[in-house]
Structure formats: C-alpha cells, structure tokens
Copies of this chain bind each other. A is one copy, B any other.
Amino acid sequence: MTQDAAPRKGRPRRGRAAAIQTVAVEAVTWTLDRPPTINDVARLAHVSKKTVSRVINQSPFVNEETRTIINAIIEQIGYMPSPQARGLAFQRSFLLGLVYDNPNAQFIVNIQEGVLAACRLAGFELVVHPCDQKSPHFLNDAKQFVQRQNLDGVIVVPPASENPQLVEVLRDLGCRYVRLSAVSLDEAANMVVYNDRQGAAEVAEHLAGLGHRDIGFIAGPSRHRSAHERRESFVGALRNHGITLRPEMVEEGAYTFESGEVCATRLLTREPRPTAIFASNDEMAAGVYKTAQRLGISIPRDLTIVGFDDSPIATRLWPSLTTVRLPAKDLGRLAAEKLIIRISSDEEEGHTATGVVSRMVVRESSVPPRG
C-alpha cells in the first residue's frame, strides 16, 4: 500500500496479452478442488504473483491489458484474497472489535447495527466482545481480545468506555480505538459523544411549561457519565425555570426495569406526591408505569412520565412514552467511520470531534398536572 506510488505517464504495451487471453479461456475449463489462491491466478495469467498482487491492490503500475486479463481470470475462477495471509503480510487484520458491558440489549443492537453498516462499506468485519467491568479479569481479558485477534481498531461502548484503565490498556497496546460517551472526556479525538444535556434540558422545559412543580427524578447509576449528564442538565434547566428539585424527590436507579419500579415506589408513596416523574432511561420509565398502575395511579391523568433513549418500549407502553431520542445507530456508524478513517489514513489520532445530539420526542405520557 505504501509502495508503487502513482506513475507520471502511462504507456500501453502489447505482445504477451493476446496470448494470455487464450490461456485464460483454456484455463477456465479447469476446475480446482480447493479455494483458488493468488498463485493459481498468476499461473493461469502467466504472470508473477506480484503482478496479481498489484492488480488486487489497485497499483497503477500495471498495463491496462494485463490488468483486464487478470481481473477476468479472478472473476472466472472466483478468486478472493485470503484475509489471513493479507493480514499477516500487511500486519493488519481488517477486523474491528466492539467492546461492551452494557445491560441494555437494545442499545447494543442499535450500536452494532450502525457499526456494521460502516464496516460493510469499508470491507471490515466486526468481532463482538461483551465483558464485565466487575470481573477481576476484565482488563486482561480485553487485552487478550485485542492482541489475539490483532484488531485494527476497537469501539468501546459506555460504561466500559468510561473506564480509564481500559483506555490505558488500549493505548499501551497501540490499538486504535474510538470511545462512545455522553461527554467528551480527556481526549476528544478518540471519541464520539452524544449530547444528553440537550435532551434532558428539553424535558425540564417541557415539564415546567406544562405546569409541573412537584417533579420526581430517577437518576441513572453514578458510574455512567450519561447519568451525571442527564441529571445535571435536568436539574440545572429546572432551576432556570425557578424550580428546585428537592433531594427527597431524587432516587438513584440502575438503568434497569426493576430499579425503576423500586424508585417509583419510593417517589409515589411520598407526600406531596410528584405530578411528574422523569426517569433517566426508558427501562426505568417502564418500571414507573408498572408501579403507577399497581398503585392505581392513572397515566397521564395523575402522573406524567418521561423517559430517555426512545427505545422500542417507549411506543409499546400505553400511553406511549414521552422520551428523548438517542440515535444509537448513528452513534455506532459514526464511531466506526471515524475509526476506519483513522486506520486507513494511518493517522495516529483523529482531530475532529464527532457527536450527535439528543432531542425530546413528545408522546402521550406527558400532560399538564391535574387541577
């Protein structure tokens, strides 16, 4: 890829080419019982394997006719270069890794989908690798993963992406990586960020605008940066509207359905009962629904609920959930694109900050408070 720089002129040649055509045609009748290699192509084309290699790698130093012949033979015998051998010679694997320890299946699937879309376009394949930050082998495990497969790059999803030790391991390994996070941490160049502040602030304005004053908030687990972002932005925006979130109106959940139920039970059995609850993600919002229904609290008449993520469950719930759309698929695509560009252009570090914003989606679960 680094050699065989662009030529300045081009002078076609003849002679060998015409003869080869015949050979090639003759060769096609010949069937191989194993996958064809570059040597087979070279032999059939009466050319050295290096020339075939040049064709494969789009080197400009190949006569147009020769190239045509070789391409025809490649086409006819169905030759495909072995990524193993290529990787060995190139010192590259054409493999990207996706490291995640996120319990939210939908988020992962969406991310994965976006990543795969970008991979597909660039000829990369994706190796997925779930892990567990709480495991003592976590770091070693991640290290082995990257080293063993010789990954060209790794995409790390939160909350694993927010683990500084993991980042250090990746850097030590010299492995290019892109992190997804709710905030741009220490290194903007290696990150794709999603702006949760925007969405959370919109929710605050929405609730304030509807006239809610007794507002409950279910925060995410503190190890997630997104939890901080959503909380701070929400609280701050409420304050701008002259509303102060009382401490007892804030509960910390774990981004799970069950924790949503638990937190909602606490909030809804307090006096004064909140007229609106903002849960930091849709899963917990679903827990709030269930709790409210169990307690005979009507949604949205007696309780406005807002979630975050716009996962499929938001529309499955009844009434449908007002939430904040987090474009996970776009995030995945952006991350992969960023990584692939960096790999292909051989840059050590990217320079542009990349990110997406989250916007509120108003549905049926948010209405003005009663009375």
Question: Which of A69-77, A126-134, A203-211 lies at the interface?
Answer: A126-134
Which residues of B have CB within 8 Å of A148? 80, 83, 125
A82 CB-CB contact with B under 8 Å: yes
A150 CB-CB contact with B under 8 Å: yes
Known interface pairs A109-B105, A130-B113; A257-B312 also in contact (CB < 8 Å): yes
A48 CB-CB contact with B under 8 Å: no
Task: Give which listed residue, B109, B125, B150, contacts A149 with CB less than 8 A.
Answer: B125
Which residues of B have CB within 8 Å of A35? 147
Which residues of B have CB within 8 Å of A128? 112, 116, 126, 128
Query: Are B112 and A150 neighbours in the complex by a CB distance under 8 Å?
Result: no
Query: Are B315 and A289 neighbours in the complex by a CB distance under 8 Å?
Result: no
Question: Which of A84-92, A212-220, A222-230, A265-273 lies at the interface?
Answer: A84-92
Task: Give which listed residue, B80, B93, B286, B294, contacts A316 with CB less than 8 A.
Answer: B286
Interface string of A105-139 (1 = CB under 8 A from B): 11011101100100000000111111000000000
A313 CB-CB contact with B under 8 Å: yes
Which residues of B have CB within 8 Å of A359? none
Interface string of A183-216 (1 = CB under 8 A from B): 0000000000000000000000000000000000
| Least distance between A50 CB and chain B CB atoms (Å) | 19
Which residues of B have CB within 8 Å of A312? 105, 257
Which residues of B have CB within 8 Å of A150? 82-84
A22 CB-CB contact with B under 8 Å: no
Task: Give which listed residue, B84, B109, B313, contacts A108 with CB less than 8 A.
Answer: B109
Chain A residues 229 to 259 lying within 8 A of chain B, measured CB to CB, are 257
A91 nearest CB neighbor, chain B only: B84
Query: Are B80 and A144 neighbours in the complex by a CB distance under 8 Å?
Result: yes
Could you list 30 examples of A-B contacts with CB < 8 Å? A35-B147, A80-B148, A82-B88, A83-B149, A83-B150, A84-B87, A84-B88, A84-B93, A84-B150, A85-B88, A105-B109, A105-B312, A106-B106, A108-B109, A109-B109, A113-B130, A116-B129, A125-B127, A125-B129, A125-B149, A126-B127, A126-B128, A128-B128, A257-B316, A289-B318, A290-B316, A294-B318, A313-B313, A313-B316, A316-B317
Given contacts A84-B84, A84-B93, A293-B318, 14 further A-B contacts (CB under 8 A): A82-B88, A82-B150, A85-B88, A105-B110, A106-B106, A108-B109, A116-B129, A125-B145, A125-B149, A127-B127, A257-B316, A289-B316, A290-B316, A313-B313
